[in-house]
Structure 1
Amino acid sequence: MVSGIINVISSIICAFSRNIGMLVVFRAIQSFGANAGLTLGAGVIADCIAMEVRGKAYGFFYM
């Protein structure tokens, strides 16, 4: 939940950034919010899905 909030807020701030420095900083903060969901989702798939069908689950998840 926190990572999603970080991602949304930093995306809004990126839209209103006034110079390239501000955009770069808030894009970096945005990556923290976006990457948390990808990392946690991959971990859940690894823990819950059988190895025989794990590749297909990863494919759907990353799509």
Structure 2
Amino acid sequence: EITLSSINADYVNAREIIYKTETSCSKILNIIEEGALSYEHAIEDAAKQIQTVTQKEPTSSKG
């Protein structure tokens, strides 16, 4: 038998599950974003190092 009380309990339970799922997804997205920023900074640093090295190297002509 379905009662108002059981429907309400199911609703509260569903809301709690949705809230926990949203919280978990937000945490996962934050971790992904932090990782992406870390990679982005690493790539930028590598690009700067490459640019610095190529600017310092004299161009030599073989002949």
Structure label with greater radius of gyration: 2
**Which fold has the larger relative contact order, with Cα–Cα distance below 8 Å and residues 6 or more apart in sequence?**
1
TM-score w.r.t. length of structure 1? 0.45
